[in-house]
Amino acid sequence: MPTIDAILQKRELDRDDIIALLGASASADVELIRSSAEKVLIDECGDAVYYRGLVEFSNYCAYDCHYCGIRKSNADIKRYTLSKDDIVAAAKWSIRQGYGSVVLQSGERRDPEFVDFLEDVIAEIKSATVSEKLPNGAGITLSVGEQEPQSYERFYKAGAHRYLLRIEASDPNLFALIHPQNQSWQNRIDCLKTLRQIGFQVGTGVMIGIPGQTVSNLADDVLFFRGMDVDMIGMGPYIVHRSTPMNIHADYYDQHKDKIFQTALLMIAVCRLVLKNVNIASTTALQAMRDDGRELGLRYGANVIMPQTTPVDVRRDYLLYDGKPYMSDDARLYHSDLEKKIKSIGRKITVDDWGDSKKAVLRSQASYQCLTLKSKPLKSLKSKSLKSNSFLVTGAPPP
Ligand code: SAH
């Protein structure tokens, strides 16, 4: 079997290589993988860390994922939906901090009232955040699950331009183990394809450490991300929630915690090595397992952080898993603390920028060139500014 060092010298990693990297346990090997991933990140994307203010705006959910704390059948939580004013206020707060982008996340609802509401919220955030620094308003990422194609289109037209929809497990059998029968793996795939066709920058991801999941499953997840040609990855460790059917695995989780955490970091590193110029989030679930989890995620190749900006009084009702950090009541204090940590690992926080992935920027430039070449001679591209990115995807000419 080739050494980790030999694998890291290869230009293209195959499935066996990925399995070997994800299975690494000797600390020297793990450090080699980490530093290689960090180098690829700096070479391909630079040292920027992008913030998105995360607003968990509703915990109502029509789905019953076996692992999730806000699943429909969990009667132990108080359900809430923030008002439009509260969501817009949270988004404006993020923009004032220089984050440039927000993520709107919620449980899954597809009813017309929800779709109308979200469309309205997106448009309102856009118009409330236009400034000289952000001429196209805030960058808006959605994470509201499986929706009808028409709804995705309405959200896109209202101004959202990125969408996160985790496949959760790219192996349909593993997916079926952690979801009720009426939830379909195929529908998630179809949604991801539809989102891309509409023009969204698309992100997906999995949970790491699902009982029964193997290193080969994770390697296939990485190959799945590559096959889907995604722009963004959001992954994190699976953490037991006591009021879910998967609480029977609490012992498994306790016994394997360290391994799960280490594997989650290795997944970030391997995704960076294989996918190179995508955005990878260092997620809250990492921090739930270890105080410095999110900084470690950055050191293993992640480049996006999503500070919670959900109003404090409802945060505890958005408990996807046990031990989710509530964060300081004072978002400002938390913010400066995070900033110090990011600087201490030699990275730079980007301000007033949507922070699209390099991959998405290159894709939109290519599609713009293609469109222009078809219709008229190529003008100089003004797409260096990432802010005009979604504009280019729609094929409109630059201003
Ligand atoms: N309903 C939306 C988003 C809400 S849940 C959607 O499905 O896209 C956001 C993410 O939290 C999920 O995709 C899942 O991967 C993660 N999550 C839920 N329960 C979790 C748990 N117990 N441990 C770790 N991550 C969890």
Q: Could you report the per-residue pLDDT of 239-273, keeping only the tens digit for each?
A: 999 999 999 989 988 899 999 999 999 999 999 99
* Residue 122 sits in the same domain as residue 232: yes
Global confidence as pTM: 0.91
Least confident residue range of 17-26, 173-182, 377-386: 377-386
pLDDT at 96: 95
| H-assigned helices in the chain | 4-9, 15-22, 27-45, 84-96, 112-128, 149-158, 172-178, 185-198, 215-228, 250-275, 284-289, 293-299, 312-315, 331-344, 358-375, 389-393
* Residue 268 sits in the same domain as residue 366: no
- The string over 44-82, giving b where at least 16 C-beta atoms fall within 10 Å of a residue's C-beta and e elsewhere, is bbeebbbbbbbbbbbbebebbbbbbbbbbebeeeeebbb
Any domain includes 38? yes
Any domain includes 2? no
Virtual CA dihedral for 82, 183, 263, 255, nearest 10 degrees?
A: 90
Under DSSP, the state recorded for 276 is -
How many domains does one find in the chain?
2
Residue identified by tokens 């132990």 is 76
* Residue 340 sits in the same domain as residue 364: no
* Residue 125 sits in the same domain as residue 228: yes
Q: Could you report the per-residue pLDDT of 120-140, keeping only the tens digit for each?
A: 999 999 999 999 999 999 999
Q: Could you report the per-residue pLDDT of 194-214, keeping only the tens digit for each?
A: 999 999 999 999 999 999 999
| pLDDT, greater one: 399 or 192 | 192
* Residue 179 sits in the same domain as residue 80: yes
**Which residue has the CA at smallest separation from atom 11 of ligand 1?**
320
Q: Which amino acid is at 388?
A: S
| H-assigned helices in 160-214 | 172-178, 185-198
Question: Ligand 1, closest atom to CA 69?
Answer: 19
* Residue 160 sits in the same domain as residue 179: yes
pLDDT bucket at 383, cuts 50 / 70 / 90:
very low
Any domain includes 144? yes
- 36 DSSP β-pair partners: none
Question: Ligand 1, closest atom to CA 164?
Answer: 8
Alpha-carbon distance values, 254 to 201, 242, 261, 266, 319 (Å) = 36, 13, 11, 19, 19
Cα–chain center distance at 284: 11
Q: Does the pLDDT of residue 8 top 60, yes or no?
A: yes
The region, left, alpha or beta by phi > 0 then psi within -120 to 50, assigned to residue 97 is: alpha
* Residue 258 sits in the same domain as residue 373: no
pLDDT at 371: 63
Q: Residue 241: count other Cβ atoms within 10 Å of its Cβ.
A: 24
* Residue 326 sits in the same domain as residue 362: no
pLDDT at 316: 85
Residue 108 CB–ligand 1 contact under 6 Å: yes
Residue 365 exposed, middle or buried by CB count within 10 Å (0-12, 13-18, 19+): middle
Q: How far is the CA of 62 from the centre of ligand 1 (A)?
A: 14
Any domain includes 3? no
| Percentage of residues in the chain having pLDDT higher than 90 | 80
* Residue 324 sits in the same domain as residue 379: no
CATH number of the domain bearing residue 217: 3.20.20.70
Any domain includes 4? no
Residue identified by tokens 């059948």 is 73
Question: Ligand 1, closest atom to CA 241?
Answer: 22
Q: Residue 391: count other Cβ atoms within 10 Å of its Cβ.
A: 19
* Residue 362 sits in the same domain as residue 337: no
Any domain includes 114? yes
* Residue 288 sits in the same domain as residue 148: yes
- 142 DSSP β-pair partners: 104, 163
Collapse the DSSP code of 81 into the 3-class scheme (helix H, G, I; strand E, B; otherwise coil) and give the result.
Answer: strand
Q: How far is the CA of 226 from the centre of ligand 1 (A)?
A: 21
* Residue 308 sits in the same domain as residue 386: no
- Tell me which residue range forms the domain holding 388: 358-394
